A and B are shown apart, each in its own frame.
Chain A
Amino acid sequence: MQIQLNEVSADYSVGPFRKTNVLSELSLSIEQGAFTAVIGETGAGKSSVLKLVNGLLLPTKGHLQVGEYTLEKNVDKQTLNAIRKNVGMVFQFPENQLFAETVYDDIAFGPRNFGFTEVEVERLVEEASATVGLARHLFTRSPFNLSGGQQRRVAIAGVLATEPEILVLDEPAAGLDPEGKRAIFDMLKDLHQRKGLTTVMVTHDMDDVVHYADDVIVMAKGEVKAHLSVAELFNQEALLKRYRLELPEVLRLKQTIEQAKGQPLRAHPKTVDELARAMIEEGWV
């Protein structure tokens, strides 16, 4: 499914103070099957964009197109429900939403809400658990006595179990150890490739962007400042500097080597291994 925002503005009203335009006149288009990273400083409005795509935050102006559905100010309940069914949203620290008595029931919560039959629910829960690498014998356990990493998997499985066509994630690996983090991202990448899921992910970590995303949306102060491919982004140093974005590790390394060598490397390595290989091919080492 494609996502398209047309001059969308949105804000939160808390009591008397309306935050004026947390998002202002955003236009944006995310292709079907893309793996898109959203980056930007804290408070830039990244999470708000994700909520917009799921109809948890409604536009005050403009409209957005999610697949065949249109979301606008006065959207009706059916459309909203249909959109939520098609867009799976993984919140930051999703393990905080766990509530059911057993892991199985928690994962089944979404599918049951969206009206799948018990037979389908069983299949969906099993599939989703397998995808996130959750062993069957955990089904009867209480989600509250699992480890943090396992809880995170249960929470993500709970979202995947509704079989969304779009997956939006807010810092899905925040607070996990490097290994747990890699496992989650590898799983997402695999899912993205296997099922052609349109994936949109907010992250703070540029290394994640290089490793996993195809294109990047740079946000600042409630606006989209740039939407470009990952390779392009790291060639635009001015842009990176202006929005105070860090270079990922591999590019910092590459730059240092290039400076020492006095000439640019032709390849665009995404990992340190690839960098090493490129240097060997060039005959630099």
Chain B
Amino acid sequence: MNQLIFGRYFPGDSFIHHLDPRFKLIFALIYVGLLFFLESTFYYLLFFVLTLLLMEQTGVKLAIYVKGVKPLIWLILFAVTLRIMTTSGGDVYLRYGPFAISSFGLTLGLQTFLRFVMIIFISTVLTLTTKPVEITDALYFLLKPLKYIKVPIEDLSLMLSIALRFIPNLLDETDKVMNAQKARGMVFGQGSLINQMKALVPLVLPLFQNSLKRAEDMADVLEVKGYQSNQKRSHYRELKWKKQDVFGSLFLLMLMVVVFVFQQ
């Protein structure tokens, strides 16, 4: 369980923690978007340094971010290798059939690698510093216009916030059930693939059972309290656009200018 860093919130007091979640969400989206418009290695490195600075500001150790990359490292390396092999041009160092390792290929490979890592890093910055409920609130706010084309965004955001709300419970419970079955002599992660799959039954079934029970209770409570999703409602957590969010937006604008104007 401890490996799962991506998508986890760590309480902290950095200025990034205090930014408006709507801003952070938009920032992360546009930032990732900008990464696809970078053209030279210089700009990749510039953005990489910037990403590192942002990570530094969250007050979470670098090792944590690296952990977030680990589960995806093979996928990244695969994409990078493909990129290197299939690009030609510049000095060619090695050739084998249709594949070649060239200086262009290596450059593109490096850029691809940096882009992947930055995407993971920046989304980790978002999820590490923003509570899941805040992200839901921000999403709800940003998707509001969709209401006019009859998308039930209240229902969607309720579903999302309930789902997010129960992730920590589910992780805790997984830990508990795993311990309980280990105590009864269960050994996880051993033997053939089939046996390992079978070993999951005593873990997954109780989790399912408990989640179903909880879902049922929850539905009952919503019913009893007269919850109706299509009502206009006020919010317990108010999102406030503050001065630092304005500065942040200016900064974002500057980045866009750098990418779309200077780079040309």
Residues of A within 8 A of B (CB): 13-17, 51, 54, 56, 81, 84-85, 87-89, 91, 94, 96-100, 109-110, 113-114, 144, 158-159, 162
Q: Could you tell me if A16 and B185 are in contact, using CB atoms closer than 8 angstroms? A: no
Do B179 and A56 touch across chains, with their CB atoms under 8 A apart? Answer: yes
CB distance from A203 to the nearest CB of B (A): 19
Per-residue CB contact flags for chain B residues 2-22 toward chain A (1 = under 8 Å, else 0) read: 100100101000000000000
- Quick check: A84 and B206 within 8 Å, CB to CB? no
Q: Mark B174-193, 1 if CB is under 8 A from A, else 0.
A: 00110111111111000000
> Closest chain A residue to B186 by CB distance?
A113
B60's partner among A16, A94, A109, A144 (CB-CB below 8 A) is A16
- CB <8 Å contact, A15 and B209: no
Q: Which residues of B contact A114 (CB under 8 A)?
A: 185
Is the CB–CB distance between B185 and A56 below 8 Å?
no
**A99, B201: Cβ atoms closer than 8 Å:** yes
Residues of A within 8 A of B5 (CB): 15
Do B10 and A158 touch across chains, with their CB atoms under 8 A apart?
no
Cβ-based interface call for B261 (8 A)? no
Contact in complex: B180, A97 (CB < 8 Å): yes
B210 at the interface (CB under 8 A from A): yes
Q: Is B240 interfacial (CB-CB < 8 Å)?
A: no
Chain B residue contacts of A97, Cβ below 8 A = 176-177, 180-181, 184, 202, 206
Instruction: Decide if B182 touches A109 in the complex (CB within 8 Å).
Output: no
Closest to B181 in A: A97
Interface CB pairs A-B, < 8 A, 28? A13-B2, A15-B64, A15-B67, A16-B64, A17-B10, A56-B179, A81-B185, A81-B187, A89-B183, A91-B176, A91-B183, A94-B180, A96-B177, A97-B177, A97-B180, A97-B181, A97-B202, A99-B203, A99-B206, A109-B186, A110-B184, A110-B185, A113-B184, A113-B185, A113-B187, A114-B185, A158-B184, A159-B183
CB atoms of B10 and A51 under 8 A apart: no
A17: chain B residues within 8 A (beta carbon): 10
Main secondary structure of the interface of B (DSSP, over half): helix
Residue of A nearest to B61 (CB): A16
The answer to whether B183 and A16 touch across the interface, beta carbons within 8 angstroms, is: no
B245: CB under 8 A from chain A? Answer: no
Considering the chains assembled together, what is the distance between the CA atoms of A91 and B181 in angstroms? 10
- Give residues of chain B (55-72) contacting chain A, Cβ–Cβ below 8 Å: 60-61, 63-64, 67
Which A residues lie within 8 Å of B210 (CB)? 96
Instruction: Find out whether the CB atom of A15 lies under 8 angstroms from the CB atom of B177.
Output: no
Contacts of A15 in B (CB 8 A): 2, 5, 8, 10, 64, 67
A interface, by DSSP: helix, strand, loop or mixed?
mixed
Chain A residue with Cβ nearest B204: A99
Cβ–Cβ < 8 Å partners of B60 in chain A: 16
Residues of chain B within 8 A (CB-CB) of A158 are 184
Bound-complex Cα distance A13 to B67 (A): 14
7 more contacts with CB within 8 A, not counting A16-B60, A87-B183, are A81-B185, A84-B182, A91-B179, A96-B173, A96-B206, A97-B180, A159-B183
Is the pair B180, A16 in contact by a Cβ cutoff of 8 Å?
A: no
Residues of B within 8 A of A110 (CB): 184-185
Point out the residues of chain A lying under 8 angstroms from B209, CB to CB: 98-99, 144
B162 within 8 A of A: no
Residue with the greatest number of chain A CB neighbours at <10 A, chosen from B60, B179, B181, B184: B184
Q: Of all chain B residues, which has the CB nearest A114?
A: B185
In angstroms, Cα B177 to Cα A98, docked, is 9
Contacting residues, chain A, for B185 (C-beta < 8 A): 81, 84-85, 109-110, 113-114, 162
Say yes or no: A96-B186 contact (C-beta < 8 A), given A15-B5, A15-B8.
no
Given A16-B61, A162-B184, answer yes or no on A99-B179 (Cβ-Cβ < 8 Å): no
Query: Across the two chains, which residue of chain A brings its CB closest to B179?
Result: A56
Most buried by B among A51, A91, A97, A98: A97
Min C-beta distance of B39 to chain A, whole Å: 35
**Distance (Å) between the CB of B113 and the closest chain A CB?**
24
A98 and B206 within 8 A (CB): yes
